Amino acid sequence: TQLLEQSPQFLSIQEGENLTVYCNSSSVFSSLQWYRQEPGEGPVLLVTVVTGGEVKKLKRLTFQFGDARKDSSLHITAAQPGDTGLYLCAQSTFYGGSQGNLIFGKGTKLSVKP
């Protein structure tokens, strides 16, 4: 059974602080996505990473994919109240020679206070 764990589960910080959230899998994944979900809305895709060791930047957000393709991190620099939301990682693995369904973690709930 694939397990995708995210940590921390909750994070409350002040505006301007930096933070890192983590996503760890029990299985090697073929690709990993990060989503952000704001209250009352569906998750929105932030980034997809597919190559071991890959680093992607999206403004103040830096996403890193572990060399072993079993872990990923999201670092936010100078957090703002607009970053508040539930951050979900999702992995895809090969199943029967083709892409399987995405498996979602339980998410990190981030609150950035002004």
Partner 1 sequence: GAGVSQSPSNKVTEKGKDVELRCDPISGHTALYWYRQSLGQGLEFLIYFQGNSAPDKSGLPSDRFSAERTGGSVSTLTIQRTQQEDSAVYLCASSPRRGYEQYFGPGTRLTVT
Binding positions for partner 1, rule: CB under 8 A? 30-31, 33, 35, 40-45, 48, 86, 88, 90, 92, 98-107, 109
Which is nearer to partner 1, 62 or 92 (by Cβ)? 92
Which is nearer to partner 1, 96 or 114 (by Cβ)? 96
Q: How far is the CB of 90 from partner 1 (least distance, A)?
A: 8
Are 87 and 107 contacting, i.e. CB atoms less than 8 angstroms apart? yes
CA distance 63 to 78: 15
Q: How far is the CB of 53 from partner 1 (least distance, A)?
A: 21
Question: What b/e string do you get for 57-86 counting C-beta neighbours within 10 Å, with b at 16 or more?
Answer: eeeebbbbbbeebbbbbbebeebeeebbbb
Which is nearer to partner 1, 77 or 111 (by Cβ)? 111
Which is nearer to partner 1, 66 or 107 (by Cβ)? 107
CA distance 6 to 71: 10
